[in-house]
Amino acid sequence: MKYLIVGLGNIGSQYENTRHNIGFQTLDAFAKASNVFFESNRYADTATVKFKGRTLILVKPTTFMNLSGKAVNYYLQTEKTPLERLLVVTDDLALPFGTLRLKAKGSDGGHNGLKHINQVLGRQDYPRLRFGIGNEFGKGKQVNYVLSDWNEEESTQLEERIGQCQKIIQAFTTIGINRTMSEFNGK
């Protein structure tokens, strides 16, 4: 069984350790733990992980955040993956830092990457794993906040939270979304 795991982020070293790049950071950690490496491909850097009889195609779009739908649609078609086996890992301002929330569907919540995916796919009923980044910014400072690096306190907790994301991804591919939501959401 094949799964498409898409981590949202922006390419370039200036974005590497920013809140908006948690999708990339999660997939980088997942690939490293699986001893696989990303390769540059059309619209994305990709890596393939085998896990308990499943094939996980890890996708980090190189289209920049606001055009993520282009890469998602391309890999859904190329890998012939049904929508219910797509999981998008993204940052979420509405959740406190480190809160992880798996959802079967939902709105874009003002997130430009999800907005573009919804537009390109013409639907929003695909699974997503939202990583809370908090909303500690003043009026009009949202862009600066999401594109800034993790603070010292967040950085100390990041590895554990990303590890939890990896467990959620693994559970999603083995026990399904409903059991995974029951087991992990709210913890």
For residue 109, what is the DSSP state? Answer: T
Q: Which residue has the tokens 């540059």?
A: 40
Q: How far apart are CA 144 and CA 146, in angstroms?
A: 6
CB count within 10 Å of CB 146 equals 21
Of the candidates 155, 185, 169, 167, the residue with the CA atom closest to the CA atom of residue 88? 169
Cα–Cα distances (Å) from 185 to 24, 101, 133, in that order, read 21, 5, 16
- Among the listed residues 20, 60, 70, 101, the single catalytic one is 20
b (16+ CB within 10 A) / e for 107-143 = ebeebbbbbbbbebbeeeebbbbbbbbbeeeeeeeee
For residue 38, what is the DSSP state? Answer: -
Q: How far apart are CA 159 and CA 96, in angstroms?
A: 16
User: Active site includes 20?
Assistant: yes
Name the residues annotated as catalytic: 20
